[in-house]
Chains A and B, each alone.
Chain A
Amino acid sequence: MSVDNDTNRAEDTLKRALRRQQAPDGFADRVLARAARQNSAESRRGHRDSWWGVFAQPVVRWATVAALAAALVTGGLHYRQVQYDKAERERAQGEAAKQRLVLALRIASSKLQLARSKVNGINAERTANHEEKE
């Protein structure tokens, strides 16, 4: 009986000591302010998620992957073609420049040949005149 009384008294004392306390002033307002910010962030995230949600469908996801792959392949081929055309153009320009240079050299060579034959003719004439005088 005494043990029961002691236990009851102990439990009553604990209940009194551990009874609920009032939350600090403004606690609810602070929680509601944070919840409003949380809801706003959730809403923004939800909006973003709904846009990204389109990609949740497997068909759309695979179509996007296929389109990206096609774009990459097409872009690569186009780039290769452009590079090839550029190299071809440069090679043609180089060839034309080479042809012009060869032509110019030929003309110069023929002119020099002409001048040389004239000089040789003048020299031969002078030598003949000199021998006649002697």
Chain B
Amino acid sequence: MAEPLPVEKAPEIAEGDFAEIVRRHQAMVYSIALHFLADRSAAEELAQDVFLQLNANLASLKSDDHVKFWLRKVTGHRCIDHKRRRGLPQVALDDVPECAAPANEGDPLLSRRLHQFVASLPEKPRLIVILRYQEDLAAEEISNVLAMPVATVKSHLQRSLAMLREKMARALGEVTL
């Protein structure tokens, strides 16, 4: 499972710092899973499985950047696999639990509706949106993580953003993105 490192140079992983890696990246992995699945317990289970897989493959990873790249990739693939394996139907907007909005968000209603709309996107566009706006990755980096053409990533992003804006405008009326 050793992918080519998409960064130039990075500090090497010291032996036995799996615990440090977990603490450093737990929020990233958990948040990707949570925003994708919109289910706290499923997100935690999936995030734990990702770290266990990392533990088994740690020797093949060269640096912290490589670990981060690997974690994003594996988490994304596991999210999609999880959804397909469970055979979950497309999430209806009102069925998405209000789980991911942090308390200090500017507009809780807006945030909640956004989470619902993101959760209603198809699998790949949803993952792309999460990687773009949660992880602040550029389209080129997302294309590396998901092994898909940059043009496809950009097209998904544009369409998803347009869809989200339209849905928000329709749902909230006066509140515009």
Contacts and interface: CB of A to CB of B under 8 A. Distances in A.
Chain A binding surface, main DSSP class: helix
A110 interface: no
Interface of B: 18-19, 22-23, 26-31, 34-35, 40, 44, 47-48, 51-52, 55-56, 100-102, 105-106, 110-111, 114-115, 118, 129-130, 133-134, 136, 161, 164-165, 176-177
Contacts of B29: 23
A33 to B, nearest CB: 10
Given A16-B105, A32-B22, A23 B51 contact: no
B18 A21 contact: no
A90 interface: no
Interface of A: 6-7, 9-11, 13-24, 27-28, 30-32, 34-35, 38-39, 42
A13 B114 contact: yes
Contacts of B40: 24
B133 A14 contact: yes
Contacts of A24: 30, 40, 44
Contacts of B22: 28, 31-32
A17 B47 contact: no
A18 B19 contact: no
Contacts of A35: 18, 51-52, 55
A14 B114 contact: yes
B134 to A, nearest CB: 4
A10 B164 CA distance: 9
A17 B101 contact: yes
B176 A6 contact: yes
